[in-house]
Amino acid sequence: MRRETFDTVILGAGAAGMMCAIHAAARGGRVLIFDHARNPGEKIRISGGGRCNFTNIGATARTFLSGNPHFAKSALGRYTAQHFIALVEKHGIAYHEKTLGQLFCDRSARDIIAMLLQEMAGAGCELRLSTTLERIERSEAGFTVTLGGERPAIVDCRHFVVACGGKSIPKMGATGLGYQLARQFGLAVTETRPALVPLTFGEDVLAGFREIAGVAVDVRVSCGKTAFEEALLFTHRGLSGPAILQISSYWRETQPIRIALLPPTDMFALLCAAKRENGRRSISTALGEILPKRLAARLAQVQGWSGTLGEATDRKLATIAATLHGWELHPIGTEGYRTAEVTLGGVDTGGLDSRTMEARAVAGLYFIGEVVDVTGWLGGYNFQWAWSSGWAAGTAI
Ligand code: FDA
């Protein structure tokens, strides 16, 4: 088998791996980045509905979940959203802010992949696709890596970077190999679970709402002390939409979630005003002027809110308003890794240096991106973590 030597070998040509490769190579080292997929950056390609929500201008450690909420501060503070925006602008990629600080490409997520590949080529990295990791062992100089696939080789390197992501969307090549490698080298891995994922419900709840699948409404959804105000989407299997994906990262089995429909609206005041204006309207019709019509009709039916506004006492209207702002539901699960945007948990940050992402106990071994126990909210935060942690490792190598 061919024997080769590189300064740095990176497992995974995703967002974090490519960013790391660019900066490690820019410092003059020989860098090899490999991936078992046939194309680099497949998750970038499908992200943001094909337009890649590549960062969020409000990204700070506060917008991430981690066993150590301070861990991400160093990398996020030194390679910020503004740094990535500068790179995007240098490549002439047009972008726009959609909402809540979320930046998307105007044209296509492929522009981000092309940009990273161009930077990698400029820095002189070697990219090998359809390449698998057969084995990795510690050696005197660093690591001996056995590669399989299209071009089997034994590679000696001083630095080995694990950037192979988490377990979400196995169909796209997610394997969870990074956790296995962490354990091989004695690093702890925290519990992993699907996050940014739709929630599923039992037949008792679904029966009431299946027929309004596709309806979206702005809500405040909370679980314990955490709350998000964004859109909720009814689906055939349960609830989705940004608000639900956000809260899914905080929800645990047996916990209820609470939903307030159209949160800033004073529902009681609106219903009283509607009653004064025209008491002959049915409650369902009046609700349909505040909420999406199909949702209002279904809610009125499920809750038994019959009759006209004129017939309803103020007390009844207050009860309706309270229900609309305090709807408690018990999810039975999530849609799982099949559709989860990210994996919550991962390589325990206690074993990593937050400035460099290097394993404290294994010199030359680095973990970056989603494989680490740092998980962002929905909205460009996860890519920013990939860029920041990739940069931190790349510039430290
Ligand atoms: P990533 O998963 O990107 O890359 C890992 C690479 O390792 C892959 O190329 C994979 O093929 C390779 N690999 C895995 N196992 C391997 C093995 N055993 N051998 C060799 N190679 C292996 N985030 C965001 O901020 N904005 C957004 O718009 C979106 N949108 C979005 C949509 C969808 C549908 C999903 C699933 C996810 C998102 N995300 C997102 C999340 C974002 O995609 C994610 O956080 C980053 O891609 C993580 O980057 P990494 O480089 O860590 O892993």
pLDDT tens digits, 333-386: 999 999 999 999 999 999 999 999 999 999 999 999 999 999 999 999 999 999
pLDDT at site 209: 86
Q: Measure the CA–CA gap between 345 and 168, rounded to whole angstroms.
A: 12
By the 10 Å C-beta count (0-12 exposed, 13-18 middle, 19+ buried), 194 is classed as buried
Share of the chain above pLDDT 70, in %: 100
Can you say whether the dihedral through the CA atoms of 61, 64, 67, 71 is positive or negative?
A: negative
* Nearest CA owner, ligand 1 atom 45: 382
Ligand 1 atom closest to 173 (CA)? 11
pLDDT at site 6: 98
Distance (angstroms) between ligand 1 centre and the Cα of 329 equals 31
* Nearest CA owner, ligand 1 atom 2: 165
CB atoms within 10 A of CB 96: 10
Ligand 1 atom closest to 55 (CA)? 25
Distance (angstroms) between ligand 1 centre and the Cα of 337 equals 12
Mean pLDDT of the chain: 97
For strands 64-65 and 375-376, give the pairing: antiparallel
| Phi–psi pair at 3, nearest 5 degrees | -120, 130
Q: Measure the CA–CA gap between 25 and 156, rounded to whole angstroms.
A: 17
The residue-averaged pLDDT of 280-288 equals 96
CA atoms within 13 Å, Cβ hemisphere of 199: 29
Confidence of residue 194 (pLDDT cuts 50, 70, 90): very high
The residue-averaged pLDDT of 92-117 equals 97
Give, for ligand 1, the residue of 43, 57, 120, 375 to mutate: max count of ligand atoms closer than 8 Å to Cβ.
43
Residue 208 has pLDDT above 90, yes or no: no
Q: Locate 59 and state its tokens.
A: 């990204």
What pTM does this model have? 0.97
Give, for ligand 1, the residue of 96, 382, 384 to mutate: max count of ligand atoms closer than 8 Å to Cβ.
382
Q: Locate 356 and state its tokens.
A: 């460099």
Confidence of residue 180 (pLDDT cuts 50, 70, 90): very high
pLDDT at site 173: 87
* Nearest CA owner, ligand 1 atom 14: 164
Residues with a CB atom less than 6 Å from ligand 1? 11-17, 35-37, 42-43, 46-48, 52-53, 132-133, 163-165, 168-169, 173-175, 177, 341-342, 369-370, 380-383, 386
CB atoms within 10 A of CB 268: 17
Residue 262 has pLDDT above 90, yes or no: yes
Q: What is the pLDDT of residues 321-348, one digit of tens each?
A: 999 999 999 999 999 999 999 999 999 9
Distance (angstroms) between ligand 1 centre and the Cα of 362 equals 25
The residue-averaged pLDDT of 66-86 equals 98
Distance (angstroms) between ligand 1 centre and the Cα of 203 equals 33
pLDDT at site 11: 98
The mean-pLDDT minimum among 149-153, 262-266, 277-281 falls in 262-266
Q: How far is CA 140 from CA 160, 288, 363, in A?
A: 14, 71, 11
Comparing CA positions, the residue from 392, 62, 373, 358 lying closest to residue 185 is: 358
Q: What is the pLDDT of residues 3-61, one digit of tens each?
A: 999 999 999 999 999 999 999 999 999 999 999 999 999 999 999 999 999 999 999 99
Distance (angstroms) between ligand 1 centre and the Cα of 38 equals 14
Distance (angstroms) between ligand 1 centre and the Cα of 195 equals 13
Give, for ligand 1, the residue of 33, 164, 339 to mutate: max count of ligand atoms closer than 8 Å to Cβ.
164
* Nearest CA owner, ligand 1 atom 47: 43
